[in-house]
A = this chain, B = another copy of it.
């Protein structure tokens, strides 16, 4: 049984240096170019220190990703659900889909396909925290009768989350503001209380 090291013994300087070094390496050459050895060398840290706190380079990169991007988007309160949802979707796109954050998200999600630990960590620490507030608002909207009650909340959420991730990871299609608007429109249409199939 692996002994969990006492986090209070952890050297803050090393931890910071490791995250910074990893960030720089990611910016310079992308995920593939990052290696445990390169991180250690850049950070001026022993290789073993890396392995003491992270099981793999994927874990380090994920922590950097969390460290740099754990800033939203937040759900605006005091607005109606459609407005909230649209604002959230645009915020998500701005923060995570384009630019380096999008590339990191693609690379990490890619690595997670063959790394169950990473997949679990990302699900718990990244994806779920972003779905949770929207789920909450959705369920309130359902109770208020603004959204169909006969849809499982997670299925409804997928209508907005899935297309953005799908274009990012699979189809490579553009995820611009127009696309986000269209997706939100379609989701709201599908979720309208009296909606019926074509």
A contacts, CB < 8 Å to B: 30-32, 81-82, 106-107, 109-114, 119, 123, 127, 141, 146-148, 151-152, 154-156, 158-159, 161-163, 165-167, 169-173, 179, 182-183, 185-193, 195-198
Contact = CB atoms under 8 A, between A and B. Distances in A.
A82 B198 contact: yes
B196 A192 contact: yes
Nearest to A154: B173
B182 A190 contact: no
A169 B169 contact: yes
26 contacts: A106-B113, A109-B170, A113-B169, A123-B171, A123-B172, A127-B171, A146-B198, A147-B198, A148-B198, A154-B171, A155-B179, A156-B186, A158-B163, A158-B166, A158-B167, A161-B166, A161-B170, A161-B171, A162-B162, A162-B166, A165-B166, A165-B170, A189-B189, A189-B196, A190-B190, A192-B197
B185 A158 contact: no
Contact of A182 (B110, B146, B155, B173): B155
Contacts of A158: 162-163, 166-167, 171, 173, 183
A185 B197 CA distance: 6
A182 to B, nearest CB: 5
